[in-house]
Chains A and B, each alone.
Chain A
Amino acid sequence: MNRFKWFTRNWWILHAVAVPFFFWLGHAVRF
């Protein structure tokens, strides 16, 4: 749980990675 606290404190780092990732995923996935 201690290491998870790092994620909750630094949630913006996760968002800085996740938002471009999902943007790229939308671009990459074509049906």
Chain B
Amino acid sequence: MTIKTYVRSTLLGALIALALAGFMLHARIHLITENPAFTVPFIAGILSVVAVPVLFWFKKTLSYGYVLNGFLCIIGTVTMAHYAIARWDAPTSPPDIVFKSMVIDILIVWGKFLVGKALFDLESFGYDPERPKAGLTYRYPNMGWWLIHLAAVSTVYTLGNLLWSRS
């Protein structure tokens, strides 16, 4: 086994562990029978556990895995922030704001994103320690591109929530 295969397996293991943890946590807390919206973490969880690792494993589909993983994290961030806002029950102190909001859960999902990003970067750009980081921040596959997409998805999602009301 080469170091490359070893590191790749380690990162994939981390990715699957985080995905499974998220899937099982949602399955325990948010029962689909309570709210149809809870199908979102169910479908996202299945995609995270099954599709994302398979796509990440093959060089040909690596980019798809990276994009899918990133967008699942964006959907997770937006929906969990929405959940926190919708169920906001009068926090009384700064620690309360941190613990009652979904900040902790959102940080975990970004941990999962960053594991995927490390895997993608190592696979795409190699393991050369001398190689300089290239590319514009706001262009794919860099972090600025993801932040733009996080902002864009948040905006479109919010507009859909506010403008397209249920009768």
A residues touching B (Cβ–Cβ < 8 Å)?
1, 3-4, 8, 19, 22-31
Contacts and interface: CB of A to CB of B under 8 A. Distances in A.
A22 B159 CA distance: 9
Interface residues of B, number: 27
Contact of B160 (A3, A22, A31): A22
Given A1-B60, A1-B63, A22-B153, A30 B160 contact: no
A28 B160 CA distance: 8
A11 to B, nearest CB: 9
B125 interface: no
Interface in B39-81: 40, 59-60, 62-64, 75, 79
Per DSSP, are chain B's interface residues mostly helix, strand or loop, or mixed? Answer: helix
A27 B156 CA distance: 10
Contacts of A29: 37, 40, 79, 82, 161
Given A23-B160, A26-B157, A31 B63 contact: no
